[in-house]
Amino acid sequence: MTVLNKSGSYDLNYCAQCGSDKIERKEVDGRQRAVCLSCGRVFYRNPIPSVVGISIINDKILLVKRGVEPDIGSWCLPGGFMELGETTEEAVKRELFEETGVKVKPVEIITIDTTIGGFYGDVVVIAYGIELESKNFIPGDDALDVQYFLYDNLPRLTFHSHRLIVDRAFEKSNAKNK
Ligand SMILES: [Zn+2]
Q: Which CATH number fits domain 48-177: 3.30.540.10, 3.90.79.10, 3.20.20.100, 3.30.470.30?
A: 3.90.79.10
pLDDT at 7: 39
Strand, helix or coil for residue 93: helix
Ligand 1 geometric centre to CA of 31 (Å): 19
Evaluate whether 79 touches 95 at the Cβ level (below 8 Å): yes
Which residues of the chain are in CATH 3.90.79.10 domains? 48-177
Q: What's the gap in Å between 17 CA and the centre of ligand 1?
A: 5
CA dist 151 and 112 (Å) reads 20
Ligand 1 centroid vs 46 CA: distance in angstroms? Answer: 19
pLDDT tens digits, the chain, 178 residues: what are they?
233 444 344 567 899 999 999 999 999 999 999 999 999 999 998 999 999 999 999 999 999 999 988 899 999 999 999 999 999 999 999 999 999 999 999 999 999 999 999 888 999 999 999 999 999 999 998 899 999 999 999 999 999 999 999 999 999 998 887 7
* pLDDT (0 to 100) of residue 10: 54
Whole-number Å distance, alpha carbon 10 to ligand 1 midpoint, is 15
